[in-house]
């Protein structure tokens, strides 16, 4: 049996895997990811003070910008007896998700592409080597955009009104922005690697480009918590650039694969 026929048989077996087996595999991957995130959150719990200072930094920048423009920006407030505890728990969990990203990203990749041959397992290493920096880049982009986003959104506050922002509301906003941007930057990696292991062809991607472009803007509009066009563009633009780069890589890979088959 040829290598191509063997690969085709393996793909057929993977598709034909019973639904119950898929659910067991998903449960296993989710359990490992949950344990890793829990342990990471416990570690982050003991570094709460420096973490909350980092999370608060965009608000401090926004306050300084407002002060330089003659606008008095009120400080964040905490309301409720249990809020300080839930706030520390929230920040610890988010930090746990970020610092354990190599583990849960691997579990996600292992669930999407089970049963790889030995020669294909190198893509797992490549996936982790590329996805972790991209996830961090998405988080970083959201972080540096936050002061500008706060300035835009809070700029709609009517004259002679004060906007009282609770710490819980602010940190929920920040963590959602960080995670949405980080996860969105991972989509091109899945496109390239699913093409590399023969699951997704460049031709199919080319036929979907209009729907993909529209879907990116819809995702950016729905996923970003601000609702303003600038934040949507801040997420959609780098996503589209990365996706079209991934399409080009997939096209180049398919051409190389076709030439290798013709040579054989």
**pLDDT tens digits, residue range 83-99?**
899 999 989 998 998 88
Helix/strand/coil for 69 = coil
What is residue 8's predicted lDDT score, i.e. its pLDDT?
46
- Which residue in the block uniquely carries the two structure tokens 């700029």? 155
Considering the chain, what is the average pLDDT of its residues?
Answer: 79
CA 224 to chain CA centroid, nearest Å: 12
Cα angle, residue 186 at apex, residues 106 and 57 outer, rounded to 5°? 105
Q: State which of 19-23, 85-89, 178-182 shows the largest mean pLDDT.
A: 85-89
What is residue 115's predicted lDDT score, i.e. its pLDDT?
58
Longest Cα–Cα distance in the chain: 79
Domain residues of the chain, as ranges? Answer: 3-263
pLDDT of 168 over the 80 cut: yes
Read off the pLDDT band of 53 (50, 70, 90): very high
Distance, CA of 259 to CA of 264 (rounded, Å)? 9
**pLDDT tens digits, residue range 105-160?**
888 777 766 655 555 566 677 777 888 888 888 888 888 888 887 887 787 777 77
**pLDDT tens digits, residue range 29-52?**
899 999 999 999 999 999 999 999
CB 72 within 8 A of CB 154: no
């Amino acid at each position: 049996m040829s290598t191509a026929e063997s690969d085709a048989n393996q793909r057929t077996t993977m598709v034909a895997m019973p639904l119950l087996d898929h659910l067991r595999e998903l449960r296993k991957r989710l359990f490992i990811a949950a344990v890793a995130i829990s342990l990471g959150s416990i570690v982050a719990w003991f570094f709460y003070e420096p973490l909350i200072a980092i999370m608060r930094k965009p608000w401090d920048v926004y306050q300084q910008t407002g002060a330089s423009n003659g606008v008095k920006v009120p400080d964040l407030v905490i309301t409720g007896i249990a809020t300080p505890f839930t706030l520390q728990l929230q920040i610890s969990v988010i930090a746990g998700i970020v610092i354990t990203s190599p583990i849960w990203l691997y579990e996600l990749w292992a669930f999407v592409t089970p049963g790889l041959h030995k020669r294909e397992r190198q893509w797992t290493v490549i996936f982790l080597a590329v996805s972790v920096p991209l996830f961090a880049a998405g988080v970083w982009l959201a972080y540096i955009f936050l002061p500008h986003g706060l300035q835009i959104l809070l700029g709609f506050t009517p004259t002679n009104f004060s906007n009282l922002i609770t710490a819980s509301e602010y940190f929920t906003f920040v963590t959602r922005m960080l995670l949405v941007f980080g996860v969105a930057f991972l989509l091109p990696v899945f496109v390239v690697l699913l093409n590399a292991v023969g699951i997704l062809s460049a031709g199919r991607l080319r036929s979907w480009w209009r729907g993909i472009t529209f879907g990116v803007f819809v995702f950016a509009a729905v996923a970003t918590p601000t609702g303003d066009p600038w934040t949507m563009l801040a997420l959609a633009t780098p996503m589209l650039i990365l996706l079209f780069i991934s399409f080009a890589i997939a096209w180049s890979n398919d051409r190389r694969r076709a030439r290798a088959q013709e040579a054989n």
